[in-house]
Amino acid sequence: MSNIHLEICDSVAKLTLDRPAKRNALTPAMLETLEAHLATLESSRTVRVVTLSGAGDKAFCAGADIKAWGALDALGMWNEWIPRGQRVFSRLANLRQPVIALINGYAFGGGLELALACDIRIAASTASFAMPEVKIAAVPGWSGTARLAKIIGIARAKMMILTGDPIDVKTALAWGLVTKACSPDRLSNAADELIATISSNAPIAVQISKQLLDAGSAPLESIAGALSAYTDDGQEGVQSFSERRKPDYKGS
């Protein structure tokens, strides 16, 4: 397995990009490892929250490994490298469980696209965000154009992508690209409270709500409401409310 680690402790799974000497830039082997970890998480009925971090104190992820894709011919880019990243990032975005990106530094190019495939982004004050592909005569390729525009708006996305210039955490917060910022030494604690809160909620209801939000389709809410109410947790939720006690959700 390459430089991406998965640790599962109780209901929390931690994914770590571990190639700090190369600013956690993503190689083909790392994409394969990430996809294998996602398959593990897709089949888990106990994991309730996933976090994604970058090792080291400089970068979350500096994007696709330029030397790796620079060695490919046009067809290799077109039918292997780009579709592989899109497929893996889509599996990440479609995980049932909420994914929290902990951004400790550079989130550039495919690294920002990776963070955009997560549900919630928390950043250290030292983090910066860019889509610098045009500076090396490349273009974003791992669904960042759509996801970035959806999150910060088309005009801001165009400014970021057409200039390739970075934005700081203050701007990222103002634009809704990140939901929380903190000092670098507080980054993992900043997520702890969020992780604890989401983990204590009914996991099926949380996961269905994520799917409803991503589908953006109100008609699905009735089906989702029925499914959620039909679960043991659904009964427990109502029961605990009427008995004025803390619910004990089992994820069933």
Give me the active site residues, please: 113, 133
What is the per-residue burial (b if ≥16 Cβ within 10 Å, else e) of 167-199? bebebbeebebbebbbeeeebbebbeebbeebb
The Cα 140–Cα 34 span in angstroms is 20
Given 50, 59, 95, 160, the residue binding ligand COO (CB under 6 A): 59
Comparison of 71 and 218: residue with beta carbon closer to ligand COO: 71
Q: How far apart are CA 202 and CA 195, in angstroms?
A: 13
64: contact with ligand COO by CB under 6 A = yes
Of the residues 99, 133, 157, 172, which one makes contact with ligand COO according to CB under 6 A: 133
Of the two residues 81 and 249, which places its CB atom closer to ligand COO in the complex?
81
Our finding on whether 65 is near ligand COO (CB under 6 A) is yes
Residue 54 binds ligand COO (CB under 6 A) = no
Beta carbon of residue 184, minimum distance to ligand COO (angstroms, whole number):
14
> From the list 89, 129, 142, 249, which residue makes contact with ligand COO (rule: CB under 6 A)?
142
Nearest distance from residue 52's CB to ligand COO, in Å?
A: 16
- In angstroms, give the least distance from the CB of 69 to ligand COO: 7
Please report whether residue 85 would count as binding ligand COO according to CB under 6 A. Answer: yes
Binding residues for ligand COO (CB under 6 A): 22-23, 25, 58-59, 62-67, 85, 106, 108-110, 132-133, 136, 138, 141-142
